[in-house]
Amino acid sequence: MTKHEKMKWLLVGFAAASVLLLILHACLEFQDQRSNNYKSHHGAVGVITNVTLPTITLKTRSGESQTIRIGTSTPVLSKQQTLSTTSLSVGQNVVIVGEPGEARFIRILP
């Protein structure tokens, strides 16, 4: 193999490696964006420890205390009934979905 042919194959190998690295980088960026989109959804699971509308305080499964704002129009579901936020009480197990610190949906667990 001549020096010119070796240089040609070296450049081809370098180009192929560069393309593979670019594809890997694009895949990792795509995965990171998907993860960030998933992380943008917030919620909490726990037991209500205080109700002082327009906020409720939960003790989460990890033992943390979390205060969450709720609006009068925030849907509250229990079994197959839609309730008002005034039906929330201390001791209820709930799942709350929304933005950080603000409920968009509350499900009372049995």
Read off the pLDDT of residues 54-72 as tens digits, 9 standing for 90 and up: 999 999 888 989 999 998 8
Q: Quick one: how far is CA 27 from the chain centroid?
A: 21
What pLDDT is recorded for position 41? Answer: 55
Residue type, 45: V
What pLDDT is recorded for position 35? Answer: 44
User: Please, which residues have CB within 8 angstroms of residue 59's CB and are 6 or more apart in sequence?
Assistant: 46, 47, 49, 65
Q: Is the CB of residue 104 less than 8 Å from the CB of residue 97?
A: yes
Distance CA 44, CA 60 (A): 7
Sign, Cα dihedral of 93, 96, 100, 102: negative
pLDDT in tens, 17-57: 888 888 877 766 665 554 444 344 578 899 999 999 999 99
What pLDDT is recorded for position 30? Answer: 61
